[in-house]
Amino acid sequence: MSALFSPRSNGIFRLVIAIVLAGAAGTVGALMVFARIPAGTGQQQQVGQPVQFDHRHHVQDDLIDCRYCHTTVDKAASAGIPPTELCLNCHSQVWNKSPLLDLVRASWFSNRPIEWVRVHRVPDFVYFNHAIHVNKGVGCVECHGRVDLMPAIEQVAPLTMGWCLDCHRDPNPRLRPLEEITSMTWEPEGDRVALGKELAKKYDVKPRTSCYTCHR
Amino acid sequence: MSTAEKTIQDVRALDGPPVLVGRPDDRALTESLLSPVLGPTRKGWVLLLLALLGGVGFWTLSLVTTLFVGIGAWGNNIPVAWAFDITNFVWWIGIGHAGTLISAILLLFQQKWRTSINRFAEAMTLFAVAMAGVYPVIHLGRPWLFWWLIPYPSTNQIWPNFKSALPWDVFAISTYATVSLLFWYLGLIPDLATLRDAAKTRGRRIVYGIMCFGWRGSARHWRHYRIGYLLLAGLSTPLVVSVHTIVSFDFAISQLPGWHTTIFPPYFVAGAIFSGFAMVMTLMIPARRLLGYQQVVTERHLDNMAKVMLATGLMVFYGYLMEWFMAWYSGSPSEAFAFLNRAQGPYQPIFLMQMFCNVVAPQILWFPSMRRNEIVLFIVSILINVGMWAERFVIIAVSLHRDFIPSSWGMYYPTWVDWGLFLGSICMFGLLFLLFLRFLPAIPLFEVKELRSELEHHGPNVYPGSEEEG
Amino acid sequence: MKAWVLGEFEREEPLYEAARALRARGHASLDIHSPYPLHGADHALGLKRSTVPIVALVAGVTGALTGYLLQWYTVAHDWPLNVGNRPPHSAPAFIPVTFELGVLFASLAIFFGLLGGYFGFPRTHHPVFEVEAFRSATIDALWLSVEVDGKDAEPIAQELRRLGARQVSIVPEAK
Amino acid sequence: MPSLGLPIYGQKTALETRRWKSLDELEARTAAEPGEFPEGAAETPEGLSRRGFLQVLGASVALAGLQACKPPREKLVPYVRAPAAVTPSVPVAYATAASEEGYAVGLVVQAHEGRPVKIEGNRLHPASLGGSDAIRQALVLELYDPARLRGFTREGRALAWSALLQEIAALGREHDKDGGTRLRFLVAPTSSPTLGDLRRRVLERFPRARFDTWSATGEGAQRAGAAIAFGRPLDATYDVAKADVILSLDSDFLAVEGEHLRHAREFASRREGDRMNRLYVAEPRFSVTGGMADHRLRMRGLEVAAFARAVAAELAGAGLAGLGPLGAHGEGERVKVARAIAKDLAGARGRSLVLAGARQPPAVHALAAAMNEALGNVGTTVHWRAPVLLDPRAGADSLRELAGELAAGKIDTLVVTAWNALHTAPADLELRKAFGKVKNSMVLALREDETVRAASWRLAASHPLESWGDLRSRDGTVSIVQPLITPLYESATEIDLLAAFVGEGDRGAWRLVREGWRARSGAPPAPLPLAGAAAAANPVDTNRPRRPDPYDRTWDEWLAAGVLTESAGKPEQVAADLGAVGDALGKLPVPAGGIELGFAPDYKIWDGRLLENAWLQELPDPVTKLTWENAAHLSPATAKRLGLASGDLVELARGGRAVVAPVLIVPGHADDAVTVALGYGQQVAGPVGKGVGFDGYALRTSDAPWFAGGAELRKTGKRTDLAVTQGHFSMEGRAIALALDHEELGRAKAELDEHRGEAPTILEPVDYSDRTYKWGMAIDLSRCIGCGACTAACQAENNIPVVGKEQVLRSREMHWIRVDRYFEGPAEDPKSVTQPLACVHCEMAPCEYVCPVNATVHSDEGLNEMVYNRCVGTRYCSNNCPYKVRRFNFFDYHGDVAPTLQMLMNPDVTVRARGVMEKCTYCTQRIQRARIDARVGGKKIGPDEVVPACAQACPAEAITFGNLNDPRSRVSRKHGDARRYDLLHELGTRPRTAYLVKLRNPNPELA
């Protein structure tokens, strides 16, 4: 005499159901987590570039202002990637024999642009404008992080829509005086939110959250 | 014979033929009703399966084309942005109403004649809802993003819009599909246990044994089971009404002439039941002959279903009349035009077909002899299916093709992909149904046995509502 | 060491009689197995009203509340958008989803409550299945099962035979 | 230098000197590096990275599961040497001009990172006044056409430009022997002074050679008419704004003829207010101008002359006795009409205008000239000037002479720069046969066509947007044509080619034009470069100092303005020779019986040269709404008599020549007449134009260039589907496009109030009055001429795809703004209203609440926002849109686009993916740009600062846009106008686009 199923079958059956349910829930959960962690947003990845350009050196050691190279950051949507010409403003005089700059010189003489690798990318349907942010007191460091400490540029902000919205809904904690806009190390004296409130009034900061602000 | 007895007898006479023929015992019932499942595979079944597989291939090809090419593979356009897709959706959802209606509402009203056909109707519901569920997804321009209609916390911080009828649809259809599945499966569990115990081979016993989760017919389970089953039926009843109400909201909340009307919810529900019963009839008439279910699916069942079709058909006709009346009474030229255009515009043949199939043809069911004539019923039920599809097409596409601004008027012509998705879905539906007939008990055994037991206790013609005392 | 005594009956009345008799003798762990629900079984076993409706009600109300709050939170609170000039908090528009979620939660609670809770399923193995003849319990026979201490099994079996069981089996608890 | 204030996206941009200087330099490099154009941008242009968009979508299918599924990182490509003129992501605008029948139309072209993307009219140019039309809008697509002719070949041998120069030099030496006896040039009409100089120099070298000018269209008849009346060919310019009463004798002066953009603007300015003008139009086919008529008199083309004489006769009776000999009283109903018109004209002496159409014979033009003179209009509404065209007398006669010489084998070398002469030449000249007898047939063309294919030397022409040149408008105003981009393919301009015949082919058009104008303007010669070894060693190094050249500044100012200020000529004094006019009228043939066959240049592809332009092919014809082909237009009565329906294929025959053509019934067409648009059915065409339409030129002979009797229509029994975007031209009695007689407006207030103002609603409307900006639009139906410029402009601005004939037949055209035309009254002789319709941005938008994913919602300023990236494509919004202005991407229209066409994309507008709904955004990219610029500058956007593409293009200024919360804005005034109404007001949608009732000003005597 034997039953169709052994006594162990009950436990196995329950386990299988538990695994299936947990697997389904886990998959959904994992995807939602993935969308929020650096691996999903592209943060924390040092990106190799054709020329070993070290922002640390240029910003920290040479004290070059961001706007020296990114010339249009306060005038146009695009911050501007410096032309080879601009590199050679200095490097025709200094390090003009360095092998590290071979590619830069080659670009100049062959009239072929250097193809940098893009680090900060928003989708094509997102229209980000540097000028308006920079002119309303949102410093470079707010989105790009401590570029002065980066040997190779990496993305520090998640650049998700939710992240954009957080600031557009409450910009005050991210505002700074325009004089300090490119500063990597500026710290407010006192309450940053209170200062932000003051600056928002001064600069007429009115971020918008309607869709066409960014999507066109 | 006392007056009271005579009255009862008269009433019983009115009640028509029996719901169960003969006095079979439980073992005989089990054997005869399970023979399609446990018996050998029939050649006809295989041939039919192969034929339907061909249609399913066409369906698959159409689906793949739609996904890879885009909605452009269809005939849809601006102004007719919805056409065969939503027509099919509403049609299938409507058909999917009969199952729950038969199972739930008739159970609540304790119509004993429902027992023999409810499983059949529920399966039909499930498959129809499954077919319907395909369209809302594939009709999207970007179907791979269908999950954006589900409220979940996204990194975009944006949510669906609950003022639109489409998220309502998402909830209604998924709830309806889920509840129908649960209801159907709950009803299947005791029968799956019967299959487990009646099956000959160990493999089948194991499969059915797993599927029934270990049902052992315990009275302690039956006690909760009966209440739970009844509660599910109770929940399904407003649900079934709500689902087609919400589907009708897709149209009714808009402002398009021909869509924007308050009569839509009841009119759609009536239409759904109308088409659902027609589909049950279409499937049941051949099935009962081929599978030998005449014993449990009797003329009485056909007669009652025909009556329901006649009644709901008249309700639908009333809906038409009210639409026309309101179009005239509203004084709105575009509203009036929308209905004139149905009757006189370029899609007039479809309108006439709708009127013939839905209004004229069912009138033959006034005659009792016709209600018991399988051939007549079969033809009428098919006509109703066609007519209800035409009705949905007329409501959806014909309303859209000429609306407010004449310059934007246009015509819709289906492509082969449209036809493939329509006809192919019928084949897929048929295929699922064939598999169901072969592998699951199409007649609910435990309910028929319960009915038999009640008949034994209360006589051959159980008067509705009389067996529940004590 | 427990054992199950199973007795097969042909008709309902003797079955009920047997159940009542055993209950009178103090055996509470009785069960009846039948292919279809028996109307007298609850009474014979002395079972109380099912609590399933309460579960369903609680789940249904939870579902409806979830539905309404979900809609209120997403479209009226978290990011109220101007959608065609409709008010963000628009109760009439929230009715369908509220209703559907109520039904869905209640149905899920009933189904999974029944199977997982009330029935303790999946339970593909149960001592009663050890009896090959018990297969008739889902086909055409009515069975009475008594869960007893191993040593009481045989007297109960005798009693069942006396009370009209067609056949009686004893299943000892598996080790 | 001072800002010229040319509008770009509503932003004031100073056109700085250095912008074109860099272009000069590019041009200077071109010869050395043919085919290369500068790297587009400091960053990869958006348009080129659109594929990334699809990849992102693909990634989201995979649920962004794995890092490996992500698209590869994009490249950032900066300049090596940054051009001073370009700021990446900021568009710049340049003024230039394009030729229309040889005359200049001033343009302002906007370029993104060196890519010309959008064309507008030049406000400073007399032939544009800032307006443009569909053809001008579509020029930019022609530039990027991947099927353009590339490079130079001789008998299949590819030649570099330098090699070609050598071969031309050799050829020239051959012809030097006999002074060019066997050398001919077949050229298009042009007013270019530089080309004039070159032609003179070519003829100096080859005195026996000849330039023959040929254009299948054009206004030669007008100059010929002036020659009859005044003894010399003259060009007329009209001051339409000053005309109270206008009689058009088959002149489509609002859409086709003369300076039609200016005419439309001036005409429209008199269609509102109390000083309404009155327009009478006598014409055979329903034209754009006919649609604007207060009284449209349909008659066959050859009957127009008789009608004109009837009017002249009545004018004589009304006090202008001088016209007596020219008049001839009409018959029947026409007498009454002619009398009323004459009375009206005579009552507005000096404020009236009679125009004769380009299709009418010279005698009618002469009569019109005489009538204008008698009415005292010369000097007020009509100005006569010496023609600026190089060969004002050109016509079919010179082509006939050339054809004869060719056929006789008298010519060895024929240089063709006229467009596709084999296709357009009158059929009786048999030019196709004669052309084959030339040894060296050299054709300069933008794309391969029949003539190119028949030629032995095939030379790719540079597009006008790649070319240096110069043109003049009718009043003599000079415009410098400057390139926006170095040629995409190796190609040459006509200037380069003619220069090659005088041995200056290597100088480049830039130097020829620039130095030519230095001489003409009397500027001193260019200073010599600084002496010294460095300068000599590296002449290209532009960083080296140069001696200041005062001409630089003048030249730059000309380029910036797009016109040479005060270069217009003085009107001439004229006196009509009435006797000569009478003689000419007497020689006019009597209209023959039977069916009259009329030809017309196409509203879209002109004489056929724009056949390959998909934007224009898909643009609905302004009158018939036909796309992607031409048809034989018939009146309803004639079609009925012949038993024909629209779509029937007929054999259209005349004088032994026949073509198969589809019939299209057009309300208001003259009876017993058929009209055929020219330019279709070309034997050699690219992927767009292949098999499109039928060849009207095949029926056209030199004796009857525009109208010919004795046409026959024979049924073939076959049918075709005509891709018409509007299937229904009746309003079905609904209040959609409202029109009123001017007199009625005062009484119609109550009636109009039903279509405006607050509508009852249970929803509290959102109050936008406290917002800084409340955007709104007003469309004045009284001004709209229905030309379709807005549709084309919107297509160019908003990256709108072309879907093709099949998809148009399936009602899937993508235009965000369509121009609906409704006919009212009897189908035989209806009145017409045109109504541009785009998204009206309802405040209570029906589309929004049905979208399940919030992809279309309202902004705080009241815009109905369509967010493509959120759209899943349920199309529910379109179903619920009562205006049906939403468009759906049924296919992946941008998926596989040629690289050059990717350069055409406006980087400020998302390129929409498959399965996404789209619609008019009120050009939100322009609003956002204006907003950011204003806010960066700490200002407010001006009331009329933001101009959407449609409003900017509209020649009639029918569309106004702006801030409704600013009472100073033009749109606020329009919204408050007595004629304002809301379309489908009864639905309570609260549209932001208001319509203004069309006014008509009928003559009470003709009521």
Render pLDDT for D743-775 as a digit per residue (tens, 0 to 9): 888 898 999 999 998 888 888 899 999 999 999
**How many other CB atoms sit within 10 Å of the CB of residue A10?**
19
Q: Among residues D108, D120, D880, which one has the least CA distance to residue D479?
A: D108
Identify the pLDDT of residue B8: 47
Interface touch D880/B333, C-beta < 8 Å: no
* In C59-153, beta strands by DSSP E: 142-149
pLDDT band at C151 (very low <50, low <70, confident <90, very high): confident
Q: How far apart are CA B277 and CA B274, in angstroms?
A: 6
Which candidate from B182, B214, B235 shows the least CB-CB separation from C121?
B214
Contact B407 D822 (CB under 8 A): yes
Residue pair B299/B286 in contact by the 8 Å Cβ criterion: no
**Separation between Cα atoms, residue B447 and residue D681, nearest integer Å:** 76
Helix axes B264-291, B299-329, angle to 10 degrees: 160
Helix (H, G, I), strand (E, B) or coil at B240: helix
The residues near D403 (Cβ < 8 Å, ≥ 6 apart) are D425, D429, D430, D431, D434
Instruction: Please state, in angstroms and as integers, the Cα–Cα distance from residue B177 to each residue in B13, B173, B174, C107, following that order.
Output: 39, 6, 5, 11
Rg of chain D over CA atoms, in angstroms?
28
Structure tokens at A33: 């987590």
Cβ of C47 and B171 within 8 Å? no
Judged on CB neighbours under 10 Å (0-12, 13-18, 19+), D746 is: exposed
Q: Is residue C174 within 8 angstroms of chain A, CB to CB?
A: yes
> In this complex, do B407 and D837 lie within 8 Å of one another by their Cβ atoms?
yes
Per-residue model confidence (pLDDT) at position D482: 93
Q: Is C123 on the interface with A (CB under 8 A)?
A: yes
What is the three-class DSSP state of A157?
Answer: coil
Chain D residues with CB under 8 Å of C87 CB are 763-764
Q: Which amino acid is at D989?
A: T
Cα-flanking dihedrals φ and ψ of residue D666, to 5°?
-120, 120
A-interface mutation test, from C81, C125, C129, C130, most A Cβ less than 10 A away: C125
Q: What tokens does B135 get?
A: 């369209």
> How far apart, in whole angstroms, are the C-alpha atoms of residue B251 and residue D20?
58
Distances (CA, A) of A64 to A59, A145, A151, D737, D753: 5, 16, 16, 63, 66
Q: Is B222 in Cβ contact with C38 (below 8 Å)?
A: yes
Taking contacts as CB-CB distances below 8 angstroms, the residues of chain C near A17 are 122
Which of D731, D807, D872 is closest, CB to CB, to B148? D872
C124 and A14 within 8 Å at the Cβ level: the answer is: no
Digitized pLDDT (tens) for each residue of chain B, 470 residues in all: 455 455 445 444 445 556 666 666 788 888 888 888 888 888 889 999 999 999 999 999 999 999 999 999 999 999 999 999 999 999 999 998 877 877 777 777 777 777 778 888 889 999 999 999 999 999 999 999 999 999 999 999 999 999 999 999 999 999 999 999 999 999 999 999 999 988 888 999 999 999 999 899 898 999 999 899 989 988 988 998 999 999 999 999 999 999 998 899 999 999 998 998 899 899 889 888 888 777 778 888 888 889 999 999 999 999 999 999 998 998 888 889 999 999 999 999 999 999 999 999 999 999 999 998 989 999 999 999 999 999 999 999 999 999 999 999 999 999 999 999 999 999 999 999 999 989 998 888 888 888 888 877 765 444 343 333 32
Tell me the pTM: 0.90
**Per CB distance under 8 Å, which residues of A are interface residues toward C?**
1-10, 13-14, 17
B206 interfaces chain A, CB cutoff of 8 Å:
yes
Q: Are residues D207 and D179 in contact, defined by beta-carbon separation less than 8 angstroms? A: yes
Half-sphere CA count of D385, side-chain side, radius 13 A? 18
Q: Is B156 an 8 Å CB contact of chain A?
A: yes
Which residues from chain D sit within 8 angstroms of residue B407, using beta carbons? 726, 728-729, 736, 818, 820-822, 835, 837
| Beta pairing class for D595-600 and D657-665 | unpaired
Query: In the predicted model, what is the mean pLDDT of residues C87-96?
Result: 92
Q: Closest approach of chain B CAs to the CA of A162, in angstroms?
A: 5
Residues of chain A whose beta carbon is less than 8 angstroms from a beta carbon of chain B are: 4-5, 10, 13, 32, 35-36, 158, 160-163, 165
- Positions in chain D whose pLDDT score sits under 70: 1-71, 529-546
Please give the structure tokens belonging to residue A199. Answer: 């600056």
Q: For an interface test with C, which of B110, B155, B175 has the most C Cβ atoms less than 10 Å from its Cβ?
A: B175
Query: Residue A173 is encoded by which pair of tokens?
Result: 């904690």
The shortest C-alpha distance from D962 to chain C (Å) reads 22
Q: Calculate the alpha carbon distances from B384 to A81, A85, B85, B266, B388 in Å.
A: 69, 78, 20, 18, 6
Residues within 8 A of A (CB atoms), D 779-818 only = none
Report the pLDDT value the prediction gives residue D451, as an integer from 0 to 100.
93
Phi, psi (deg, nearest 5) at residue D1000: -120, 155
The residue of chain D with its CA nearest to that of C90 is D763
Q: Which of B69, B78, B408 sits opposite D888 (nearest CB)?
A: B78
Query: Which pair of structure tokens corresponds to residue A5?
Result: 């199923």
| pLDDT computed for residue C1 by the predictor | 73
Can you give the three-state secondary structure of A63-123, one letter per residue?
CCCHHHHCCCCCCCCCCCCCCHHHHHHHHCCCCCCCHHHHHHHHHHHHCCCCCEECCCCCC
DSSP H or E run through D599: strand D595-600
Q: Half-sphere exposure of D449 toward its Cβ, with a 13 Å CA cutoff?
A: 28
Minimal CA–CA distance to D469: which of D16, D952, D124, D96?
D96
In tens, the pLDDT along D147-169 reads 899 999 999 999 999 999 999 99
Please say whether the beta carbons of B285 and B374 come within 8 A: yes
Nearest Cα to Cα of residue D222 among D196, D198, D253, D186: D253
Question: Is the separation of the CB atoms in C17 and C159 below 8 Å?
Answer: no
Using a CB-CB cut-off of 8 Å, the residues of chain B touching A6 are: none
Segment among A10-19, A39-48, B12-21, D343-352 with least mean pLDDT: B12-21
| DSSP string across B155-214 | TT-----TTSHHHHHHHHHHHHHHHHHHHHHHHHHHHHHHHHHH-SSHHHHHHHHHHTTT
How many A/C residue pairs have CB atoms within 8 Å? 27
How does pLDDT run across C133-146, given as a tens digit for each residue?
A: 888 888 888 898 88
Cross-chain Cβ contact B81/D888 below 8 Å: yes
Surface of B (83-142) touching A: CB under 8 A? none
What's residue D32's pLDDT? 35
Prior bond of D539 cis (ω within 30°): no
DSSP string, B371-404: HT-HHHHHHHHHHHHHHHHHHHHIIIIIHHHS-S
Residues of A in contact with C174 (CB under 8 A): 7
Question: How far A149 CA sits from the closest chain D CA (Å)?
Answer: 22
Query: Nearest CA to D660 among D702, D624, D631?
Result: D631
Closest CA relative to residue D165, chosen from D439, D429, D442, D496: D496
User: Distance (Å, rounded) from C-alpha D212 to C-alpha D395?
Assistant: 9
Write the residue in A4, A5, A162 that is nearest to B157 by C-beta. A162
Interface partners of A (3+ CB pairs, < 8 Å)? Answer: B, C, D
Beta strand pairing call for D739-741 and D657-665: unpaired
SS3 per-residue string spanning D695-743: CHHHHCECCECCEEEEEEEEEEEEECCCCECCCCCCCCCCCCCCEEEHH
Counted across chains A and B, CB pairs separated by less than 8 A come out at: 29
> What CA–CA distance (Å, rounded) separates D411 from D409?
6
D71, amino acid identity: P
Both tokens of D200, joined, read 């003179």
Q: CA triplet D72, D73, D74: central angle to 5 degrees?
A: 115
Decide if B145 and D872 are in contact by the 8 Å CB cutoff: yes
Angle D54-D58-D64 from CA coordinates, rounded to 5°: 125
What type of residue is B107? L
Q: Do B70 and D889 touch (CB under 8 A)?
A: yes
Select from C20, C103, C130 the residue whose CB has the most chain B CBs within 10 Å, as the one to mutate to test that interface.
C103
Which residues in chain A are contacts of B158 at CB distance < 8 A? 161
In whole angstroms, give the CA distance from residue D656 to residue D934: 67
Q: Could you check whether the bond before residue B257 is cis, i.e. omega within 30 degrees of 0?
A: no
For D:875-894, CB contacts with A below 8 A are none
Exposed, middle or buried by CB within 10 Å (0-12, 13-18, 19+), for D531? exposed
